[in-house]
Amino acid sequence: MKTTIIGAGPAGLYFAILAKKANPGDAITVYERNKVDDTFGFGVVFSDQTLDNFEAHDAESYEQITRAFAYWDDIEINFKGSRYRIGGNGFCGCSRRTLLLILYERAKSLGVEFHFQHEIDDIEPLARTSDLVVLADGVNSKFRDHYRAHFQPTIDVRPNKFAWMGSTAELDAFTFAFEETEHGVFIAHAYQYEEGGSTWVFETDNDTFERAGLAGLSEEESARVMERIFQRYLGGHRLLTNRSLWRNFPMIRNARWVKGSIVLLGDAKATAHFSIGAGTKLAMEDAISLHDALTRTRTVDEALASFETGRREEVERTQHSADVSLVFFEHLGRFWDFDPVQFAFGVMTRAKAITYDNLHLRAPEFVAEVDRHFAEDVASQGFPVDTAGPKPPMFQPFRLREMALANRVVVSPMCMYSAKEGVPGDWHLVHYGARAIGGAGLLFTEMTDISAEGRISPGCTGLWNDEQEAAWKRIVDFVHAQSATKICLQIGHAGRKASTQFMWEEDVHPLPEGNWPVISASPLPYLEVSQVPRPITRADMDELVAEFVATTERAVRAGFDMIELHAAHGYLLASFISPLTNHRTDEYGGSLENRLRFPLEVFRRMREAWPAHKPMSVRISATDWADGGLTGDHAVEVATAFAEAGVDLVDVSTGQTVSDARPVFGRMFQTPFSDQIRNEAKVATMCVGNITTADQVNTILAAGRADLVALARPHLMDPNFTLRAAAWYGVDDVACPPQYLAGRDQLLRNTKRDREELEELKRKLKPKSRGDLRDAAERLPHAAE
Ligand SMILES: Cc1cc2nc3c(=O)[nH]c(=O)nc-3n(C[C@H](O)[C@H](O)[C@H](O)COP(=O)(O)OP(=O)(O)OC[C@H]3O[C@@H](n4cnc5c(N)ncnc54)[C@H](O)[C@@H]3O)c2cc1C
Ligand SMILES: Cc1cc2nc3c(=O)[nH]c(=O)nc-3n(C[C@H](O)[C@H](O)[C@H](O)COP(=O)(O)O)c2cc1C
């Protein structure tokens, strides 16, 4: 087999090694435009896990790489004069130049043919005479661009500026330094990669870059500027440059990776932002994956197909982590006023992989300080909480107007489709009652409608008549009598999504019979098969406002602690807010200000009818997940407008506005929107969406990404989510009915033991640390003496 590789970077070299080692008879040729040792960059980073992978695939190069590395366990975060060190991270750094030379020597010794200083301009002749062509030609891959129509690359150029530099300064931790200058904030991501060698990636926003005059400076001059800003970390050492130009990071993705016998590898195929230090790792793991696919299958075609399908998920997962991570650095303004310990916690947990519980395992003192700070903040709001031995954030109280919540866990609103004529019945009493007893701080009702026409389905609850009011009062009274949980009524009108089937039937589809006419901002059906809604007139608006107010007045009489206006998910009010569903040309359409006019009018009128001492929230879809629709930036404006109208809490959901939306699901996938709204609009938020564990709840709260955390589906299966979480953290004073105390006490005892066992197991399962191995190796000769 004849293989041609364009590019002698980590991807090309490592693939050459693995392929030649597996099939020594194959002809493998590498073309590289530069000289053999003519490389840029300073160090690269690998985790213990990545090194395990290298060891398994080529022990020879692994041995050499690990002989030349620097190892660290701590991450250090420097912010406003504070310094936090968090252990247990297990990373090694290696000189990029050394790495490439090791890989080159190894490939050469195996018999790979190299052509350095050989630029490839035309790939067609090589493709004709090779069985496989590997395009490992880097981030600016000209052949990816040549075949743009086929590979369909997307290049998302990030707004921040960054430059890679080096230094002889030594660092004993992966160091993040955030330095404020008269021009703005500069960030250093720095780590040692060998004795007397460290990598420094500097990052700043474009405005700061311009104000600091860096645009007009040479590499050398900008290194001197960075030296001045970061002098206290450099300890008198100089910064070195090597193609250290300030650039914007391109996040590269390709819809296709394979064209015939040509395959993209490494940066040419997909990049990952430097803040997760994964560029070289991704490139080398790509090589492993392509090699594995070739050994698994019989033909090149099969191998390439298998590589593309098998590897994509992992690459996209890493890219997603990088996307989430870079947002932190691009939006520092959101967190700049945070207390340093909360800021540091945010840096650590920015990319979802590191959480409250796993930090607790390896840096318990740090987490204790995070908890202490959180509790002190709560105490400063007048709550008599223990700040010396604080409870985890999820068990800290929270106040909205005069309503005090015992903890931060919320049962998210969930339609039960089980009402008769809008009247909640026994099902609802048991369902809501059980969840209140389960200990959540706040319990939302399902969307409860202002009129029969406003119901999503014939099974939805309503609050427009006396019978419904009495039925809701029975539930509210039970919750108040039997639990410490507060109860919030979610009030809405389904708009163009009314008159549809139950969720477990044909969801969102019209009823098979007995449909009632639907209304919306504009005459646009949700699905092709949906009814065309009637756009409402000003007279309709007056009627609707009166109905919203009447329901509010009934909610007062039923004794609810709080009400929420549903302005999300494409229902009537949401249909006004999104430009995709509001095509009106009157004063209720056009600009966001106009589109918000009717929803805000409804809110204000409800607010007037709702007691001043009780809180109100609004649920919004912070993005439509669709081209031309609402984005997080718009959501900040929407939240600000509602906050000015008197909203106490923004319940941040997303989507469900249009049927062709493309949501990006994942763990805690809506939390970034809550983060943005809370920390830009400066309004309290509740986040929701694929949050399934108490660990995640604490991570979100401790990082200041929301004030309350709602869980929907987890509460369907486990009404006692909060009581179980309390047992996990050893919190023994969550309200529990006396009838259940014996069970609660047993749960506390068993969970304490289970947690200790699990943590012990996790400690044992931790990947072997090269730092420990090396320390052990260094101790050996002494032991022999
Ligand atoms: C200035 C700079 C500094 C960096 N520093 C670091 C760092 O310190 N740590 C880190 O982890 N990552 C660093 N990176 C990122 C890292 O280099 C990449 O993620 C990684 O090298 C990707 O490997 P690759 O093999 O896909 O591509 P590359 O390493 O970019 O290799 C591609 C190779 O293809 C060659 N080539 C391209 N076109 C042709 C052609 N037509 N004919 C012949 N040869 C061609 C190029 O000369 C290059 O050598 C840095 C990147 C840059 C640009
Ligand atoms: C069965 C069910 C019914 C729902 N009904 C409502 C509702 O009435 N009002 C509402 O705003 N959201 C409703 N939602 C959305 C949830 O409140 C929540 O935002 C969503 O399920 C994501 O949270 P989760 O991942 O914790 O389930 C419902 C969700 C489910 C699963």
CA distance linking residue 140 with residue 153, whole number of Å: 11
How far apart are the CA of 139 and the centre of ligand 1, in A? 7
Pairing state of beta strands 247-254 and 153-167? Answer: antiparallel
How far apart are the CA of 184 and the centre of ligand 2, in A? 41
How sure is the predictor about 768, in pLDDT bands with cuts at 50, 70 and 90?
Answer: low
Which one, of 37, 22, 28, 23, lies nearest residue 105 by Cα?
Answer: 37
CA angle, 104 as apex, 99 and 106 as ends, to 5°?
A: 95
Nearest ligand 1 atom to alpha carbon 199: 8
Ligand of minimum distance to the alpha carbon of 716: 2
Structure confidence at residue 781 (pLDDT): 40
Which one, of 171, 159, 233, lies nearest residue 196 by Cα?
Answer: 171
State both tokens at 736.
Answer: 């529990």
How far apart are the CA of 600 and the centre of ligand 1, in A? 53
How sure is the predictor about 785, in pLDDT bands with cuts at 50, 70 and 90?
Answer: very low
Mapped to the 3 state alphabet, what secondary structure does 47-71 carry?
Answer: EHHHHHHHHHHCHHHHHHHHHCCEE
CA distance linking residue 207 with residue 534, whole number of Å: 47
Ligand of minimum distance to the alpha carbon of 447: 2
Residue recorded with tokens 């699905």: 527
Structure confidence at residue 194 (pLDDT): 85
Helix (H) or strand (E) holding 547: helix 538-558
Structure confidence at residue 69 (pLDDT): 78
Query: Distances from the Cα of 99 to the Cαs of 55, 334, 507, 698, 706, in angstroms?
Result: 14, 38, 55, 40, 43
Residue recorded with tokens 């004709």: 128
How sure is the predictor about 524, in pLDDT bands with cuts at 50, 70 and 90?
Answer: very high
CA distance linking residue 67 with residue 539, whole number of Å: 79
Nearest ligand 1 atom to alpha carbon 118: 43
What residue's CA is closest to ligand 2, atom 10?
Answer: 413
CA dihedral 738, 744, 749, 755 (to 10 degrees): -150
Which one, of 108, 470, 99, lies nearest residue 279 by Cα?
Answer: 99
What residue's CA is closest to ligand 2, atom 2?
Answer: 414
- Please name the amino acid found at residue 111: G
Buried b (16+ CB within 10 A) or exposed e, 88-108: bbbbbbbbbbbbbbbbbebbb
CA distance linking residue 563 with residue 557, whole number of Å: 12
Contact 444, 490 (CB under 8 A): yes
Structure confidence at residue 772 (pLDDT): 61
Ligand of minimum distance to the alpha carbon of 489: 2
Pairing state of beta strands 616-621 and 649-653? Answer: parallel
- Please name the amino acid found at residue 141: S
31 pLDDT higher than 50: yes
What residue's CA is closest to ligand 1, atom 35?
Answer: 7
239 pLDDT higher than 50: yes
Kindly report, residue by residue over 172-188, the tens digit of the pLDDT. Answer: 889 999 999 999 999 99
Structure confidence at residue 95 (pLDDT): 87
CA angle, 660 as apex, 654 and 664 as ends, to 5°?
A: 45
Kindly report, residue by residue over 552-597, the tens digit of the pLDDT. Answer: 999 999 999 999 999 999 999 999 999 999 999 999 999 999 999 9
Pairing state of beta strands 197-204 and 153-167? Answer: antiparallel
How sure is the predictor about 767, in pLDDT bands with cuts at 50, 70 and 90?
Answer: low
Half-sphere exposure (Cβ direction) of 580: Cα atoms closer than 13 Å: 23
Ligand of minimum distance to the alpha carbon of 7: 1
Mutate to test the pocket of ligand 2, among 409, 410, 411, 414 (most ligand atoms within 8 A of CB): 414
Q: Please, what is the angle between helix 632-644 and helix 592-609, to 10°?
A: 40
Half-sphere exposure (Cβ direction) of 367: Cα atoms closer than 13 Å: 21
CA distance linking residue 728 with residue 752, whole number of Å: 6
CA distance linking residue 371 with residue 374, whole number of Å: 5
Contact 557, 469 (CB under 8 A): yes
Largest CA distance in the chain: 95
Structure confidence at residue 766 (pLDDT): 64
Kindly report, residue by residue over 282-294, the tens digit of the pLDDT. Answer: 999 999 999 999 9
Contact 630, 624 (CB under 8 A): yes
**SS3 category, 727:** helix
Percent of the chain topping pLDDT 90: 84
Nearest ligand 2 atom to alpha carbon 569: 11
437 pLDDT higher than 80: yes
- Output the ligand 1 site: residues, CB below 6 A: 6-12, 31-34, 40-45, 96, 119-120, 136-139, 142, 164, 199, 243, 266-268, 277, 279-280, 283
How far apart are the CA of 194 and the centre of ligand 1, in A? 20
Kindly report, residue by residue over 192-211, the tens digit of the pLDDT. Answer: 888 888 999 999 999 999 99
Which one, of 741, 696, 746, lies nearest residue 409 by Cα?
Answer: 696
Mutate to test the pocket of ligand 2, among 409, 410, 412, 673 (most ligand atoms within 8 A of CB): 412
CA distance linking residue 785 with residue 764, whole number of Å: 31
How far apart are the CA of 15 and the centre of ligand 1, in A? 15
What residue's CA is closest to ligand 1, atom 3?
Answer: 41
Which one, of 627, 639, 667, 673, lies nearest residue 653 by Cα?
Answer: 673
Contact 129, 49 (CB under 8 A): no
405 pLDDT higher than 90: yes
Worst-scoring range by mean pLDDT, 15-29, 65-79, 103-117, 181-195?
65-79
**SS3 category, 351:** coil
How far apart are the CA of 297 and the centre of ligand 1, in A? 29
Give DSSP secondary structure letters for 374-423. Answer: HHHHHHHTT----SSSPPPGGGS-EEETTEEESSSEEE--------BTTB
Nearest ligand 1 atom to alpha carbon 267: 26
Sign of torsion over alpha carbons 53, 58, 62, 63: positive
Structure confidence at residue 351 (pLDDT): 87
Residue recorded with tokens 């019989």: 298
How far apart are the CA of 113 and the centre of ligand 2, in A? 59
CA distance linking residue 392 with residue 729, whole number of Å: 8
Active-site residues, by number, are 571
State both tokens at 158.
Answer: 């990030």
134 pLDDT higher than 80: yes
State both tokens at 269.
Answer: 């195929």
What residue's CA is closest to ligand 2, atom 7?
Answer: 414
Mutate to test the pocket of ligand 1, among 249, 267, 276 (most ligand atoms within 8 A of CB): 267
- Output the ligand 2 site: residues, CB below 6 A: 412-415, 446-447, 490, 503, 566, 619, 653, 688-691, 711-714
Mutate to test the pocket of ligand 1, among 13, 96, 198 (most ligand atoms within 8 A of CB): 96
In the chain, count H helices and then E strands.
27, 29
As a whole number of Å, the end-to-end CA separation of the chain is 53
State both tokens at 122.
Answer: 């035309």
How sure is the predictor about 507, in pLDDT bands with cuts at 50, 70 and 90?
Answer: confident
State pTM to two decimals: 0.91
Ligand of minimum distance to the alpha carbon of 286: 1
Nearest ligand 1 atom to alpha carbon 13: 25
**SS3 category, 196:** coil
On the 0-12 / 13-18 / 19+ scale of CB atoms within 10 A, 552 is buried
Mapped to the 3 state alphabet, what secondary structure does 704-749 carry?
Answer: CCCCEEEECHHHHHCCCHHHHHHHHCCCCCCCCCHHHHHHHHHHHH
Mean pLDDT within 244-260 = 95
